[in-house]
Amino acid sequence: MSLNMDNIMKASFGEASDTLRATFKKTVLIKQYETEVIELETTIKIDENLTGAERMFITAMMQVQLEYTAYIQLAMKGLITQSELNNRRLQLEESLQALKTKAESVLNKSMDKWLEMPTN
C-alpha cells in the first residue's frame, strides 16, 4: 500500500474510545515591552473508534473554537480590530471547511454528525 494523505486519513487504530486534546497559545503585544499570553486548552473523550479523518476534523474543530474564543477576547480588549477578527473568522471557517470536504471525500461519508448536538 502506498502512503498518501488519503490512506493516512482512512487509518484507524482500532481503539474503542479516543481522548482528543487541542490547545491554542498566542502572545500579543499590549504595549511596548509588555506582552500578554493567551492560552486555551480543551479535551474531549469520544467513546467510539475514529478514523484518522474524523480525528483530524474533530481536533481541527476544537482548535478553531479555541482560537476564535481567543480572538473574541482580543477584540473585546481592543487589541485587534473588528476587521481583523472578521478576517480571522473567515480564515478559520475556510480551513475547517477544506478539511471537512477532504474528510468526506476520503471516507465517502458526511462529517455533519460532529457538528450536531447529541440527542441523548
Q: By C-alpha distance, which of 92, 93, 89, 21 is closest to 55?
A: 21
**pLDDT at 109 (0 to 100):** 93
Residue 34 counted as domain residue: yes
Residue 96 and residue 42: Cα distance in Å, rounded?
A: 17
pLDDT in tens, 71-113: 999 999 998 999 999 999 999 999 999 999 999 999 999 999 9
The pLDDT of residue 84:
95
In which band, very low, low, confident or very high, does the pLDDT at 1 lie, cut at 50, 70 and 90? low
The predicted pLDDT at position 4 comes to 78
Do the domain assignments include residue 120? no
Residue 4, burial from CB neighbour count under 10 angstroms (0-12, 13-18, 19+): exposed
Residue 108: which domain range? 5-112
Better-predicted residue by pLDDT, 13 or 72: 72
119 in a domain, yes or no?
A: no
Question: How many domains does the chain contain in total?
Answer: 1
Asked if 44 and 58 count as a contact pair (C-beta separation under 8 A), the reply is yes
pLDDT at 6 over 90: no
pTM of the model: 0.84
- DSSP codes, 52-89: HHHHHHHHHHHHHHHHHHHHHHHHHTTSS-HHHHHHHH
Give the list of residues 6+ apart from residue 69 with CB closer than 8 angstroms, or none: 24, 40
pLDDT band at 120 (very low <50, low <70, confident <90, very high): low
* Angle between the N-to-C axes of helices 82-107 and 52-76, in degrees from 0 to 180, rounded to the nearest 10: 170
